[in-house]
Structure 1
Amino acid sequence: MSTIPQEKVLDNSIRLLLEGFPFIQNRVERFKSNIFKTRIMFQNVICMHGEEATKIFYDPDKFMRWQAIPNRIQRTLMGKDAIQTMDGEGHRHRKAMFMSLMTPDKLYKLNHLLTEQWNAYIKKWEQMEEVVLFEESQDLLCRVACAWTGVPLKEKEVRLRAQDFAAMVDAFGAVGPRHWRGRKARKRAEKWIGKIIRKIRKGKLQVQENSPAHVIAFHRDVEGELLDVHMAAVELINLLRPIVAIAWYITFGAVALHEHPVARQKIAEGEEGYVELFVQEVRRYYPFGPFLGNRVKNDFHWGGHHFKKGTLVFLDMYGTLHDPQIWEHPNEFYPYRFRNWDGSPYNFIPQGGGDHFTGHRCAGEWVTIEAMKVSMVFLSRYMEYEVPPQDLGFSLVRMPTYPRSKFIMRNVRGTGQPVEADVHALSKCPFHQGAASAPRA
Structure 2
Amino acid sequence: MIPRLRTPDSTLRFLAQGYTFVRRQARSVGTDAFRTRLMLRPVVCLYGAEAAGFFYGGGRFSRAGALPLSVVHLLQDAGSVQTLEGAAHDHRKLMFLAARREEQIELLLEAFRDEWAEAAERWQRLPEVDLYRESVGVLARSATRWAGLEPASEWLADTLSTMVDRAAAVGPLNWAARTKRLRAERWAREVVEEIREGRRTLPEDALARTIAEHLDLDGRLLPAEVAAVELLNILRPTVAVARFIVFAALALHHHPEWAGRVAADADDRLHFAQEVRRFYPFFPVIGGVATRDLEFRGERLREGQWVLLDLFGTNRDERSWPQPERFDPDRFAGWDGNPDTLVPQGAGDAAHGHRCPGETATVALVVEATRLLTTSLEYRVPPQDLRIGLRRMPALTVDDFTITEVRARGRSSAGSG
Whether the TM-score (by the shorter chain) exceeds 0.5 is yes
Helix, strand or coil: the match of 1:22?
A: helix
Distance (whole Å) between structure 2 residues aligned to residue 356 and residue 363 of structure 1: 6
Partners of 2:278 and 2:315 within 8 A in 1? yes
Alignment of 1:35-74 (within 5 A): 35-74=33-72
Helix, strand or coil: the match of 1:395?
A: coil
Partners of 1:388 and 1:408 within 8 A in 2? yes
Over the matched positions of the two proteins, sequence identity in percent amounts to 36
- Indicate whether 1:229 and 2:230 are aligned: no
Alignment of 1:41-440 (within 5 A): 41-153=39-151, 158-268=153-263, 270-416=264-410, 418-422=412-416
Q: CA deviation at 1:74?
A: 1.5
Helix, strand or coil: the match of 2:383?
A: coil
Partners of 1:321 and 1:348 within 8 A in 2? yes
* Alignment-mate amino acid for residue 378 of structure 1: L
Distance (whole Å) between structure 2 residues aligned to residue 110 and residue 243 of structure 1: 10
Distance (whole Å) between structure 2 residues aligned to residue 146 and residue 79 of structure 1: 20
Distance (whole Å) between structure 2 residues aligned to residue 67 and residue 292 of structure 1: 12
- Structure 1 residues 420 and 225 mapped into 2: Cα distance closer, same or farther (>3 Å)? closer
- Structure 1 residues 61 and 74 mapped into 2: Cα distance closer, same or farther (>3 Å)? closer
Aligned counterpart, 1:433: none
Distance (whole Å) between structure 2 residues aligned to residue 418 and residue 186 of structure 1: 35
Partners of 1:171 and 1:181 within 8 A in 2? no
Q: CA deviation at 1:417?
A: 7.2
Match among 23, 26, 44 for residue 25 of structure 1: 23
Q: CA deviation at 1:126?
A: 1.1
Distance (whole Å) between structure 2 residues aligned to residue 244 and residue 66 of structure 1: 25
Q: CA deviation at 1:78?
A: 1.7
Most deviating of 368-377 and 175-184: 175-184
Helix, strand or coil: the match of 2:295?
A: strand
Distance (whole Å) between structure 2 residues aligned to residue 221 and residue 15 of structure 1: 43
Helix, strand or coil: the match of 1:46?
A: strand
Q: CA deviation at 1:405?
A: 2.2
Unpaired stretches in structure 2, ≥5 consecutive residues: none
Q: CA deviation at 1:70?
A: 2.5
- Structure 1 residues 416 and 71 mapped into 2: Cα distance closer, same or farther (>3 Å)? closer
Q: Taking structure 2 as the reference length, what is the TM-score of the superposition?
A: 0.97
- Structure 1 residues 215 and 31 mapped into 2: Cα distance closer, same or farther (>3 Å)? same
Partners of 2:140 and 2:157 within 8 A in 1? yes
* Alignment-mate amino acid for residue 122 of structure 2: K
Helix, strand or coil: the match of 1:109?
A: helix
Distance (whole Å) between structure 1 residues aligned to residue 119 and residue 259 of structure 2: 20
Helix, strand or coil: the match of 1:412?
A: strand
Q: CA deviation at 1:370?
A: 0.8
* Alignment-mate amino acid for residue 87 of structure 1: E
* Alignment-mate amino acid for residue 20 of structure 2: P
Helix, strand or coil: the match of 2:31?
A: coil
Aligned counterpart, 1:436: none
Distance (whole Å) between structure 1 residues aligned to residue 38 and residue 45 of structure 2: 10
Unpaired stretches in structure 1, ≥5 consecutive residues: 424-441
Partners of 2:18 and 2:391 within 8 A in 1? yes
Distance (whole Å) between structure 2 residues aligned to residue 304 and residue 395 of structure 1: 37
Q: In the TM superposition, what whole-angstrom CA distance separates every residue of 1:258-277 from its partner, at most 9, and x where no partner exists?
A: 11111112122x12400000
Distance (whole Å) between structure 1 residues aligned to residue 371 and residue 126 of structure 2: 21
Helix, strand or coil: the match of 1:89?
A: helix
Q: CA deviation at 1:61?
A: 4.1
Partners of 1:382 and 1:419 within 8 A in 2? no
Distance (whole Å) between structure 1 residues aligned to residue 208 and residue 108 of structure 2: 14
Partners of 2:372 and 2:412 within 8 A in 1? no
Q: CA deviation at 1:416?
A: 4.1
Distance (whole Å) between structure 2 residues aligned to residue 12 and residue 77 of structure 1: 24
* Alignment-mate amino acid for residue 118 of structure 1: W
Helix, strand or coil: the match of 2:99?
A: coil
Q: CA deviation at 1:19?
A: 1.1
* Alignment-mate amino acid for residue 328 of structure 2: Y
- Structure 1 residues 144 and 416 mapped into 2: Cα distance closer, same or farther (>3 Å)? closer
Q: CA deviation at 1:16?
A: 1.1
Distance (whole Å) between structure 1 residues aligned to residue 416 and residue 195 of structure 2: 34
Partners of 1:291 and 1:315 within 8 A in 2? yes
Partners of 1:352 and 1:361 within 8 A in 2? yes
* Alignment-mate amino acid for residue 329 of structure 2: P
Aligned residues between the structures: 417
